[in-house]
Structure 1
């Protein structure tokens, strides 16, 4: 008797925004990361947002099995930036692998500013993405 059952063909894919969100949430939980932001244009659009955007400051290129990330961050003055970078890399790579099975093959972190936590909090008042980062830090 012939086998009438056909093989199931299935595919799992991720929108770039999903990977950016995972990376953003992971990076914001690293001590010393004050904010992920994309520079002047991002700051302008941030003024018009009413909710936080965990993908801000992150660009992802997602393939079938691999991910490449470019990230922009403001780091707390006085922190060891190399250590912050190492921890961001470790957490982002781990979380993306654990949640999606994808391998991060490239992660570029651009530090666009350093400031004291106090100065950053003062500057960030009322900005939705900065508020999200502040809340994340308080949970730790």
Structure 2
């Protein structure tokens, strides 16, 4: 279901793909994040996604003007995961709310792996 905003002029429907792209790009700008990983990391294999495919590491659940975001990430070795996750949550929530006007109810971070940055 798409995000929906209603005002006195009409209704604005924002597709989940748009919100996924905004969330993915916002997350990749965060310190301590190596990159986004695929949502379906089975058998312990984690695929690091290229920048143009970041929305594959994001799942958005939209209900009217309320948004829940699931992010699947790989963090940098040596960083504190809780601090990196807090930074990602703040950045993603701010970007989605300021760009779309929709309210982000929750951002869930799923750490799929830790990678040594060269």
Instruction: Tell me the TM-score normalized by structure 2.
Output: 0.81
Unaligned runs of 5+ in 1: 1-7, 119-140
Question: CA 1:42 to 1:12, structure 2 compared with 1: closer, same or farther past 3 Å?
Answer: farther
What residue in structure 2 maps to residue 16 of structure 1? 16
Q: What is the total number of aligned residue pairs between the two structures?
A: 106
Name the structure with the higher helix share: 1
Matches within 5 A, 1:1-140: 10-38=10-38, 39-40=41-42, 43=47, 52-118=52-118
Name the structure with the higher strand share: 2
Unaligned runs of 5+ in 2: 1-7
* Partner Cα distance (1:117, 1:42) in 2: 16
C-alpha contact 2:46 2:112 (8 A) present in aligned 1 = no
C-alpha contact 1:42 1:56 (8 A) present in aligned 2 = no
Calculate the aligned-residue CA RMSD, in Å: 2.1
Bigger radius of gyration: 1
* Partner Cα distance (1:112, 1:99) in 2: 27
